[in-house]
């Protein structure tokens, strides 16, 4: 009984890790007023970049993670340029980047399909509790991000840019620069989420390795009301769901398609519940709108 | 870089900027092909020769134009109302499910079956989009909800063809039996161009253009899309407009799904075979047409060339079909980024002194 519970928790934490990392990144840029629907794409390029570095002769895992961050941030920089500098629609830009990222990763990653990864990131065994260093990092990062947003001057600046960019501008904050930084950081975190998938969780590269996790991360941000610590619970919740899908598949009379559709159905339910509870009110007031000085 | 708003951007300017955006997009894609390891010249050469070079290629383009035109002209309407329906893929699949289900299980006499399949297809697509419209009233962003519904639609199709609808005569394969032959659409001989659906698409695009520019509903739609504040003040219900638009676009996508079943496959089969990425590509068809359903008559074939060309890249150059996603993503990104150049004049440098005039004119 105990063992089953521990196994469920370990598994849920594992699937929850990319969700948590990516949603923390999205929380960061959404708190700064920029919606990023491109998480799926940034995760995909991060996953590929990490894998490509790690399988290369003498591939260093630290460098692999850095490459993932750089790849995620590079794609995010397109989002920042389009939405902050050129004031394009943030939602559609994110969608375009999700397409571009998953497409480019599938294209450029073709040569790595089926390649084995010998130097996978080793899991840690904390008193019988097997856990990936990525998971530990994600949990610590959630706490750090909560502290950053609520208790530091820089975090306050970021939130002011997300809530009321005009007021922040008047106080001498460079709205564009803060937003660029937040979007790049969010992209880098999505990249790490991808690195976890290819360097640890799957330890291989395949097209569509992100399998919709990026989209769930985006929805998670709304579900947890843009709060980093609550994101831990949200990620764990979807992690448990994936664990159940894994356990029940084939062992029950329920058709497998029900399980493969379940995370997406649940995202809809969760978003509807968030909407009914009026949780959209927790959204940063300036979210989703380009800031143009002098415009309301 | 500074922007100065133009009071009335001309159509010529819009066309120019759109064209420039597409050129930039094709250059960016060339860069990605370069990194992949094929010469961009080979890629574009293969795409153009294989699609426009002979009658087989043209037929492949025409076949893909049909769903793109139906879906794209519906989406054009949706985007004008600021309803970002990204779920046409799922709505098309549900249309295919409803149409195939009608063909397989409803014993209708000869001339009634095809119309019934198309009507049910539209109902299926409309219902699927209706879910997103209803969720939007609960403040659920429609981009997220329609995307999730895409994944769910794929699961629905897989469930049906592997489970209760699995054909009796098909043993190892996962698809349904064939629908009766009176449910087959006629095609241009030797091709998969089911021309009655093409006629429907052309008529649909023109009708939707009329709705948009001449009807009261179209007027309400444009006001809601362009100036939500004014719409509320005028007592127009943005929710009702969004719902109607969602049903129309979903219905158009459902018609496309019915057309694919009745015109090409004659059965329900795997999601990836029913739709060759039409739902996402149609987003770009609508965006390229700048929200004008009638202009989709031009932009749908253009994007069909890219879709058919992507297939050729897979066959001739052994590239993954993902290349189409790269095209779609890059073109869409360039298009929406170019919008600001349509509406504004650009001056380079930081020109602090004149900053006030520029930004005020924007408001």
Q: Is A131 exposed, middle or buried (0-12, 13-18, 19+ CB in 10 A)?
A: middle
The C-alpha atoms of residue A57 and residue A65 are separated, in whole angstroms, by: 16
Is B225 within 8 Å of B235 (Cβ atoms)?
no
> What is the number of CB-based contacts under 8 A between chain A and chain B?
158
- Any idea what the CATH number is for the domain that residue A31 is in? 1.10.3470
The Cα A216–Cα B71 span in angstroms is 26
- pLDDT for B129 equals 97
Banded model confidence at residue B95, pLDDT cuts 50, 70, 90: very high
Domain assignment present for A79: yes
Which residues are CB-contacts of B53 (< 8 A; sequence separation ≥ 6)?
none
Residue A293 domain flag: no
Instruction: Please work out, in degrees rounded to the nearest 5, the angle formed at the alpha carbon of residue B215 by the alpha carbons of B209 and B218.
Output: 65
Q: What gap in Å lies between CA A286 and CA A271, rounded to an integer?
A: 20
Q: List the single residue in B with minimal CA-CA distance to A271.
A: B140
When pLDDT is averaged across residues B67-77 and rounded to a whole number, the result is 97
Contact residues on chain B for A249, CB-CB shorter than 8 A: none
Most B CBs within 10 Å, among A100, A111, A220, to test the B interface? A100
Contact B118, B251 (CB under 8 A): no
Under 8 Å CB-to-CB from A267, ≥6 apart: which residues?
Answer: A215, A216, A219, B144, B148
What is the per-residue burial (b if ≥16 Cβ within 10 Å, else e) of B315-335?
Answer: eeeebbbbbbbbbbbbbbbbb
Tell me how far apart the alpha carbons of residues A97 and B325 are, in angstroms, rounded to a whole number: 10
Is residue A291 in some structural domain? no
Residues A138/A17, Cβ–Cβ less than 8 Å? yes
% of chain B surpassing 70 pLDDT: 96
- Give the nearest partner residue to B330 out of A100, A215, A274, using CB atoms: A100
- Pick from B147, B152, B339: which is nearest to A261 by CB? B152
Asked whether residue A288 is domain-assigned, the answer is no
| Mean pLDDT of all residues in B54-75 | 96
In this structure, what DSSP letter does residue B82 have? T
Mean pLDDT by 10 residues, chain A (296 residues): 77 93 97 95 97 91 96 97 94 93 94 87 83 95 97 95 93 94 98 96 90 91 92 93 79 79 89 80 83 76
For residue B212, the model assigns a pLDDT of 95
CA A7 to chain CA mean position, Å: 24
Residue A227 has a pLDDT of 94
Measured in angstroms, the CA of B201 and the nearest CA of chain A are apart by 25
Confirm whether A290 is domain-assigned: no
Q: For residues B234 and A102, what is the distance between their CA atoms, to the nearest angstrom?
A: 43
Domain count across chain A:
1
Predicted confidence at residue A280, as pLDDT, reads: 65
Q: Do B340 and A86 touch (CB under 8 A)?
A: yes
- Nearest CA to A218 out of A45, A73, A30, A26 is that of A26
Domain around A57: 2-282
ipTM of the prediction greater than 0.95, yes or no: no
Q: Which residues of A touch B359 (CB under 8 A)?
A: 292-295
Contact B281, B69 (CB under 8 A): no
DSSP string, B1-36: -EEEE-SS--HHHHHHHHHHHHHHHHHHHHHHHHHH
B159–A108 CB contact, under 8 Å: no
* Predicted local distance difference test score (pLDDT) of residue A67: 97
Contacts of A85 in chain B (CB under 8 A): 1
Structure tokens at B242: 């969004």
Q: How far, in Å, CA of A77 to CA of A41, rounded? A: 13
Say which of B138, B324, B327 has its CB closest to residue A276: B138
DSSP A164: -
For B126-157, write each residue's pLDDT tens digit. Answer: 999 999 999 998 888 888 899 899 999 999 99
Check residue B262 and report its DSSP letter: I
Of the pLDDT bands very low, low, confident and very high (cuts 50, 70, 90), residue B247 is: very high
Three-state DSSP at A89 gives: coil
The number of C-alpha atoms within 13 Å of B242 and in the hemisphere containing its C-beta is 23
Q: Which of B83, B93, B155 would best serve as a mutation to test chain A binding (most A beta carbons within 10 A)? A: B155
Which chain A residues are Cβ-neighbours of B149 within 8 angstroms? 264, 268
Closest Cβ opposite residue A264 in set B152, B337, B363: B152
Determine whether the interchain pair B332/A95 forms a contact, defined as Cβ–Cβ distance below 8 Å. Answer: yes
What gap in Å lies between CA A138 and CA B348, rounded to an integer? 42
Cβ-Cβ contacts under 8 Å for A90 (sequence gap 6 or more): A34, A35, A36, A37, A79, A83, A288, A289, A290
Reduced to 3 states (helix: H, G, I; strand: E, B; else coil), residue B344 is strand
User: How far is the alpha carbon of B357 from chain A, nearest alpha carbon, in Å?
Assistant: 10
**A295 within a domain of the structure (yes/no):** no
Q: Identify whether A292 is part of a domain.
A: no
Which residue from B32, B149, B363 is facing A104, i.e. has the nearest CB? B32
Residue B347, SS3 per DSSP? strand
**Each residue's pLDDT tens digit, B222-232:** 998 888 888 88
């Amino acid at each position: 009984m105990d063992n089953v519970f521990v196994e469920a928790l370990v598994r849920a934490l594992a699937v929850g890790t990319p969700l948590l990392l990516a949603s923390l990144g999205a929380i960061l840029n959404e708190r700064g007023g920029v919606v990023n629907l491109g998480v799926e794409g940034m995760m995909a390029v991060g996953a590929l970049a990490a894998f490509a570095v790690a399988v290369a002769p003498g591939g260093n895992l630290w460098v692999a993670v850095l490459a993932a961050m750089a790849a995620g941030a590079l794609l995010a920089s397109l989002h920042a340029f389009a939405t902050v500098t050129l004031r394009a629609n943030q939602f559609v830009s994110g969608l375009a980047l999700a397409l571009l990222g998953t497409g480019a990763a599938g294209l450029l990653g073709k040569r790595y399909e089926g390649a084995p990864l010998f130097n996978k990131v080793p899991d840690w065994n904390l008193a019988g509790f097997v856990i990936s260093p990525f998971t530990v990092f994600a949990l610590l990062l959630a706490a750090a991000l909560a502290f950053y947003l609520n208790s530091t001057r820089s975090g306050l600046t970021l939130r002011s840019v997300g809530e009321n960019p005009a007021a922040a501008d008047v106080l001498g904050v460079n709205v564009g620069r803060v937003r660029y930084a937040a979007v790049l950081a969010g992209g880098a975190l999505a990249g790490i989420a991808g690195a976890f998938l290819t360097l640890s969780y799957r330890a291989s590269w395949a097209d569509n390795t992100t399998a919709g996790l990026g989209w769930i991360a985006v929805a998670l941000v709304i579900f947890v009301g843009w709060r980093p610590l609550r994101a831990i619970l949200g990620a764990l919740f979807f992690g448990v769901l994936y664990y159940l899908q894994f356990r029940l598949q084939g062992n029950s009379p329920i058709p497998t398609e029900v399980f493969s559709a379940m995370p997406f159905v649940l995202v809809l339910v969760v978003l509807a519940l968030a909407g009914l509870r009026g949780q959209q009110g927790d959204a940063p007031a300036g979210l989703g709108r380009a800031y143009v000085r002098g415009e309301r | 870089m500074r922007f100065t708003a133009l009071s009335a951007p001309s159509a010529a300017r819009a066309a120019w900027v759109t064209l420039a955006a597409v050129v930039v997009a094709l250059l960016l894609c060339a860069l990605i092909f370069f990194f992949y390891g094929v010469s961009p010249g080979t890629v574009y050469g293969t795409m153009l020769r294989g699609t426009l070079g002979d009658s087989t290629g043209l037929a492949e383009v025409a076949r893909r134009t049909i769903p793109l035109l139906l879906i794209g002209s519906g989406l054009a309407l949706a985007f004008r109302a600021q309803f970002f329906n990204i779920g046409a893929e799922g709505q098309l699949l549900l249309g295919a499910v409803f149409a195939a289900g009608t063909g397989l299980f409803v014993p209708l006499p000869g001339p009634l079956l095809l119309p019934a399949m198309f009507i049910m297809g539209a109902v299926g697509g409309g219902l699927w989009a209706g879910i997103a419209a209803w969720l939007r009233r609960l403040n659920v962003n429609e981009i997220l909800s329609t995307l999730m519904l895409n994944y769910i639609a794929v699961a629905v199709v897989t469930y049906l063809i592997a489970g209760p609808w699995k054909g009796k005569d098909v043993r190892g394969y996962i698809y349904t039996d064939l629908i009766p032959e009176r449910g087959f659409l006629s095609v241009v001989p030797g091709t998969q161009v089911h021309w009655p659906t093409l006629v429907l698409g052309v008529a649909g695009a023109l009708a939707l253009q009329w709705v948009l520019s001449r009807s009261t509903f179209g007027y309400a739609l444009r006001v809601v899309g362009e100036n939500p504040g004014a719409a509320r003040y005028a007592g127009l219900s943005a929710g009702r407009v969004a719902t109607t638009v969602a049903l129309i676009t979903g219905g158009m996508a459902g018609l496309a799904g019915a057309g694919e079943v009745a015109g090409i496959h004659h059965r329900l089969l795997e999601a990836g075979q029913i739709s060759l990425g039409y739902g996402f590509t149609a987003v770009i068809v609508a965006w390229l047409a700048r929200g004008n359903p009638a202009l989709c008559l031009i932009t749908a074939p253009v994007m069909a060339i890219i879709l058919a060309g992507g297939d050729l890249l897979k066959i001739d150059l052994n590239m993954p079909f993902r290349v189409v996603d790269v095209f779609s993503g890059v073109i869409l990104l360039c298009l929406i980024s170019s919008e600001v150049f349509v509406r504004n004049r650009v001056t380079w440098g930081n020109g602090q002194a004149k900053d006030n005039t520029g930004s005020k004119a924007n408001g």
